[in-house]
């Protein structure tokens, strides 16, 4: 025999539902608060150098390449021409493989 759908639920099961909902709500609130803190910190850290005029560049200075390698697996006609120029000038070309 099946119970009717309007039968009272087990009190222990209802307490578990309430407890699980409370835990989920608490964790959701903590997540949202920490997300807001993280986003706010990121915005403040990004605005600070802009107000100061850009800040120092952490980029290394440009250095001309000392070797040449084709862009793909098989060199194009232009790539073969550049490779021949590099070989004729005595500069190193990339070795095949690793």
Dump pLDDT digits (tens) for 65-98. Answer: 777 777 778 878 888 888 788 788 877 666 655 5
Going by DSSP bridges, is the β-strand pair 92-93/67-68 parallel, antiparallel, or unpaired?
A: parallel
Dump pLDDT digits (tens) for 13-41. Answer: 889 999 999 999 999 999 999 999 999 99
């Amino acid at each position: 025999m099946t119970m009717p759908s309007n039968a009272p639920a087990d009190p222990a099961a209802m307490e578990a539902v309430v407890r699980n909902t409370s835990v989920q709500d608490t964790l959701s609130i903590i997540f949202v608060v920490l997300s807001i803190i993280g986003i706010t910190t990121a915005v403040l850290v990004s605005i600070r150098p802009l107000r100061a005029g850009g800040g120092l560049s952490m980029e290394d200075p440009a250095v001309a390449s000392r070797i040449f390698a084709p862009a793909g697996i098989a060199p194009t006609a232009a790539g073969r021409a550049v490779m021949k120029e590099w070989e004729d000038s005595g500069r190193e070309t990339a070795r095949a493989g690793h």
